[in-house]
Amino acid sequence: MHKITLTILILFCLNIQVKAQTYELNDSIFTIGSYLRTYNIIFEFNTPAILTKSYKELDSFVDFLNANNRLQLKIKVHSDSRGSDSFSRCLTCKRAESIAEYLIHKGIQTDRLLPIGVGEVEPITIYNIDSLTNDTLSTQILTQTYINSVKEKSLEQYEELQQLNQRVEFEIIATDYVSQNSNYVHLDLIDSLHGLFTNFSVDNFGNIYTTNKDVLVKYSPKLKMLFSASLKSLLPTSIESSKSFRVLIFDKERGIINFLDNTLTDVKGEIDLADLDVLQTVLVCESFNGNSFWVLDEGGQQLLKVNQNLDIITRVDNLNYLFKDRTSPIQMFEHNDELIIHFPGYGVALFDVFGTYIQFYPIVSTFIDLKNDFLFSLDGQNIKVFKLPLMDHIASINLSDQSSESFKIMNQKLYLKTLTGLFIYSIKNLANNK
């Protein structure tokens, strides 16, 4: 386990400290309300995108949560007060969701995390400490009024105080969490969304995105319509909402992708993959290793990872062995630091996040999903459940007479797309019926 050492900040050449954590990542006894504060999770300016240099810190929290699997945490993201209160709160909400999203992607259960964007309403308190007795001589809350008064004396001190308010705190909200993830077998229908949908996606917080030709709609977990957008000339072949702050749309016919924010507003405009010298893009998907995405080029038999500036940062050539004597793949996504490519009727190819080929799982399926250590495979009117890494078949989910096309497993729910709509089932765990 990595241990995080919180740096105590000393300002103005005086013994001024920020009192912070009430637990450490190597503690074994915890109480509700205890928290750990960190300044080592850094975001791109005015966006919720986490910088790559923060991953080591986040991975330490993954190790910590895996070692202490009875804890549930609130993720509180704070800002300084240099923007409007509404903007700061909105931005910190998205940043908290990005942190939760990263931890979930690493295998932490969604219901163990509560992301909260605090904005600027909880400024930090600094303490003037006597260097000889270690007594507290005075305290000061870093309100904007106080920080502005410092600005007149020193811009450097002003900036240091602003940065103290920009922090992330992991607060313990429960110490008795019990995991609900084991073997998925029994279904109970809990909701449905009727309509003709060409594609759908579910984000980590249960929001649902559907497409019908060029119309994209976002629904809340309660199936309340939140946003709707016309994509005009874009006809999505796939849609992915694995990153809570953006939605990835891919039009295979035109070789075009588009990024939308969580209000379905265009972010970058249409991106023509032909500009990357791609001959025939068949699949694209998000990558969690940096703010990047994958492109699978069947024509050029190559795999590319592209960053937010549309620079190719990884290129894997000579993939003829992957496509030879197989139908074109229909799914590609990242799962637990691996890239999954699904060839219907043949199996699943695994690559690491650097594009290195790992192995091929032969499996007859028309659609798949992975959740934690389980692979779910749609085969006719059944979803077969396999335990990784040995692919032990441990259960089957019967879909009765549903005309199943695709599905998604998320938060103990099965989202099943059929010819008539989207059906949502709760998945009951019958641990004794393997």
pLDDT, one tens digit per residue, over 129-183 is: 656 666 655 677 766 666 666 666 777 666 666 667 778 999 999 998 876 544 5
Provide the pLDDT for residue 132.
65
Q: How would residue 295 be classed by pLDDT, with cut points 50, 70 and 90?
A: very high
- The residue ranking higher by pLDDT, 84 or 308, is 308
In a domain, 361, yes or no: no
Q: How would residue 379 be classed by pLDDT, with cut points 50, 70 and 90?
A: confident
Percentage of the chain lying above the pLDDT 70 cut: 83
Provide the pLDDT for residue 208.
97
Find all residues with CB under 8 Å of 114, minimum gap 6, and list them: 72, 73, 74, 75, 173
How far, in Å, CA of 287 to CA of 290, rounded? 7
Task: Give the chain's domain count.
Answer: 1
From residue 36, give the alpha-carbon distance in Å to each of 21, 22, 60. Answer: 4, 6, 12
Domain CATH for 27: 3.30.1330.60
From residue 262, give the alpha-carbon distance in Å to each of 14, 208, 227, 239. Answer: 44, 11, 9, 13
pTM: 0.74
In a domain, 34, yes or no: yes
From residue 348, give the alpha-carbon distance in Å to each of 45, 266, 279, 371, 394. Answer: 38, 33, 23, 15, 18
Provide the pLDDT for residue 434.
37
Q: How would residue 2 be classed by pLDDT, with cut points 50, 70 and 90?
A: very low
- The residue ranking higher by pLDDT, 273 or 427, is 273
Residue 186 burial class via C-beta count within 10 angstroms: exposed 0-12, middle 13-18, buried 19 and up: middle
pLDDT, one tens digit per residue, over 411-429 is: 889 999 999 999 999 886 5
pLDDT, one tens digit per residue, over 300-311 is: 999 999 998 999
In a domain, 105, yes or no: yes
In a domain, 240, yes or no: no
**Domain around 118:** 16-174
